[in-house]
Structure formats: structure tokens, C-alpha cells
Amino acid sequence: MQNHERRRNHMKILFAPDSFKGSMSSFHAIELLHIVTQKHFPGCQMVDLPIGDGGEGTVESLIHALGGHYATCKVTGPLGEEVEARYGILNDTTAILEMAQASGLPLLQGRTPDILHASSIGTGQLLRHILMEGYTNIYLLLGGSATNDGGLGAATALGIRFLDAEGKDVSPDGAGLAQVVSIDAAAVLPQLQTARITLMCDVKNPLLGPDGATYVYGKQKGAGPEEQARLEAGMENYIRVVEEACGRQFRDVPGCGAAGGLSVPLLAFAHAEIRSGIETVLSLMEFDKLIEDVDLVVTGEGRLDYQSTKGKVLSGIGLHCARQGVPAVAVVGCMGEGAEQIYDCGIVAAISCMGAATSQEDALARADAMFLNAADRMYRLIKLGMSFPR
């Protein structure tokens, strides 16, 4: 028994949860894990690593892990309003920005979405500002957008002109896609040609078709059947002109359908590549080094289901831990269809906060208490396993 106690008190545990959307940040989840861990393993060493996969909270977690800071820039929001967009500075050459800060659905603040006229121009303005500040290594998080303009608005802000049959500039939004006949990139921002841009994305959707930008994400941005058909036809026209201008094919690139096709002009006219959000985050944080002497990793997210295995935080952490022989467990808000698939991604066990009969309203109201209870159950099972003779 004394050996078991000594082993418990000298444990090193790393906390790496994602945010629990709608209920708690990854930082708050870690605070709660500290409380429960100190109860069960009072002498253990705890390492905090709030994390994200390219979505909400990712910039904050990277700034925390890498010692960066925030800066702001005023840009044009998705429907033409002025917004103050925040971005992160990680070092003298590296900056990170979220598309959602400049062109995101949350910026509509209760206004009716207008996907045909929503523009990614603010994202281009924010990227232009960062490039002109001298940053040459840029991470752009795709997701949460209010737009479906194929990045036409963003590219316009970067100096690329999209012209109609009369040689006039098209509107920099979804409605303008169908009008594009030719492209003039002569006045493109010079810094765009020399910077390296990593597009962080956690989906594999192509640009067009039933699995593409318009038909998968258009509805949540306010597009009805008629608008979807119009946007899809416009996107087909737009990508044809872009591909002819560049002599390369982009429409089937995995992830190109994310964020309303924002990546298209960056892949075409800049040194950009699409990478897995969680893999990029783990690489920047040097996660594999951090877990070299760790006994246990505790991660988590709001909902665990089959999508969690497809480039999300839990699967990324689980696979990295499995490769190094470090056990990883998860505390999750709830478990949905296909949740058991996460065990094929290196997660050893997952504990749900929410029971089957618990309503969502009750879960949100008692989020802290339910999380603490789930973590307590998890540690009791871990201690039981540790008590067995080896």
C-alpha cells in the first residue's frame, strides 16, 4: 500500500482539454481538474495545456502555451459593419488569426444572415494588416464564417481584382461569384508572395458538390434551397476562372470547402497550404516533448461522437499519446453516436458529465458540479486500477 501511495504522490499529469462549447473554456476545465486532482493525488505534479483544434479558443491556448500576446485591427465585418478584430502575435515573425474574428457568424449579433451579400473582405483586411506589419509566418484558422464567397472578398482586400464581362470589379461577396470572367493580380500585395501561410482546418470537405462549402455549411449561414443553388452555380463559375488563371486545380483539395471556400485565392495566389488544425497546434506546442515524462494525460470536450475521431482535439491527443505509450483519458460533456470509436484513436477511457436523463438546460446550469463529479469518478477508477498488483 505504501508503494501505491508513493507512486500516486509522484505522478505527473498533463491537462489538455478543449473548450466545452456553451458551458466552459478549456482554462476553466483545467481549474476544475486541479481541484479534483489535488483531492485524489495531493502530491502530484500538474501541467496545464489548454488546447484547441483550430476552432474557438485556439488562439488563446497558443498564446498561453507559447508566451505570445494580442493585437487588434479595425476591419469590415461580414455585412459591412466596422468590427475590431483580435489576432495573436507568437514571436517576431509569427502571427495567428481567426477568420471568425473578422468574418464570423457571431459578429452578426442577432441580425438576419445574408449569405449572398456576406463578404470575407474583413479577413483579407486583417491578413493585409498583419503582412504589412512584417509578419512572414502566418497561421489562419478557418471556421465559424458567415460567408460563402470563395474568399473573393478576402482576395479583393489583398489587391486581386475579379472582373466581369465589362471589365468592372464584381461585388466582393457570394453574389459576385457568378459574375467573374477574368482575374487581374497585377496589384496583389507584394508581401503575400513571400509570406508562408498555414490554413488550419479540421474538415476535409471539397469546394463543390453535396459535400462542399455551399451544401454542407450554407444552411447554417442562412441559405435556403434557391440561394444554395445560386451560390453553387456561382462557385462553379468562380473556381473555373481561378483554375484557368493559375493553371492548377483546387476544387477537389481536401478542406477547400471550409469557411465558404476562403482558402481558394490563398492557395492560388500565395504560398499557402491547408493543414490539420489539431496537428498544427500540437506541433507548435511541441506536445510530444511535453509528454515524454508524463504519467497521464487528461483531455476533454463538450460532445464526444464519431466526429471526434476526424481531426478533433481528442483524436489528435490520443494518437500522439498512444505513440509514446502515455495513457490518455477524457472527461466529456456528453457522448453521442459513434463515441466508442475514440478508443481506436488512443483514448483509453472517456467519462461523461451528463447522464442520459439530464436535459441540456440542466447540464448548462450545473456544468461545474457535473464536471467535478465526472472527474472524481474517473480518478476513483484510475486509483482502483493502480491498486492491482503488477
- For position 1, what pLDDT does the model report? 43
Q: Has domain 2-51+306-387 been given CATH number 3.40.50.10350?
A: yes
Half-sphere exposure of 362 (CA within 13 A, CB side): 9
Which amino acid type is present at position 3?
N
**What is the mean predicted confidence (pLDDT) over 290-318?**
94
pLDDT of the residue at 47 = 96
| Cell representation of residue 300 | 476533454
Structure confidence at residue 313 (pLDDT): 93
For residue 390, the model assigns a pLDDT of 67
- Topology (CATH) of 58-279: Glycerate kinase, domain 2 (3.90.1510)
For 37-71, b/e burial (b = at least 16 CB within 10 A) is beebbeebebebbbbbbbbbbbbbbbbbbeebeee
pLDDT digits (tens, 9 = 90+) for 106-150: 899 878 889 999 999 999 999 999 999 999 999 999 988 999 999
Give the residue from 298, 58, 304, 333 showing the smallest Cα distance to 202: 58
Average pLDDT, the chain: 93
Say how far apart CA 217 and CA 234 lie, in whole Å: 16
pLDDT tens-digit map of 317-368: 999 999 999 999 999 999 999 999 999 999 999 999 986 446 667 777 788 9
Confidence of residue 178 (pLDDT cuts 50, 70, 90): very high
192-195 CB contacts, 8 Å cutoff, 24+ apart: 192/131, 192/158, 192/159, 192/269, 192/270, 193/270, 193/271, 194/136, 194/271, 195/131, 195/135, 195/136, 195/137, 195/138, 195/270, 195/271
CB under 8 Å, gap of 24 or more: what pairs does 234-238 form? 234/174, 234/175, 234/176, 234/177, 234/178, 235/148, 235/150, 235/177, 235/207, 235/208, 235/261, 236/208, 237/177, 237/178, 237/180, 238/150, 238/152, 238/162, 238/177, 238/178, 238/180, 238/264
Range in 80-84, 156-160, 222-226, 382-386 with the lowest mean pLDDT: 382-386
Average pLDDT for 306-312: 88
Residues of the chain with CATH 3.40.50.10350: 2-51+306-387
* 223-252 residue pLDDT tens: 999 999 999 999 999 999 999 999 999 999
Spatial CB neighbours of 190, under 8 Å, sequence gap ≥ 6: none
Q: What pLDDT does 3 receive? A: 47
User: Which residues, listed in sequence order, are joined to residue 24 by a DSSP beta bridge?
Assistant: 20
| Predicted pLDDT at 149 | 97
pLDDT of 197 > 70? The answer is yes
- Spatial separation of the C-alpha atoms in residues 351 and 41, rounded to whole Å: 19
DSSP single-letter state for residue 218: T
Task: Give the tens place of pLDDT for each residue, 28-84.
Answer: 999 999 999 999 999 999 999 999 887 777 899 999 999 999 999 999 999 999 999
Q: Which carries the bigger pLDDT value, residue 259 or residue 2? A: 259
**The pLDDT value given to residue 2:** 43
Q: How many CB atoms lie within 10 A of CB 135?
A: 22
Q: Where does the chain hold its CATH 3.90.1510.10 domain(s)?
A: 58-279
pLDDT at 5 over 60: no
Give the whole-angstrom CA distance, residue 67 versus residue 88.
Answer: 10
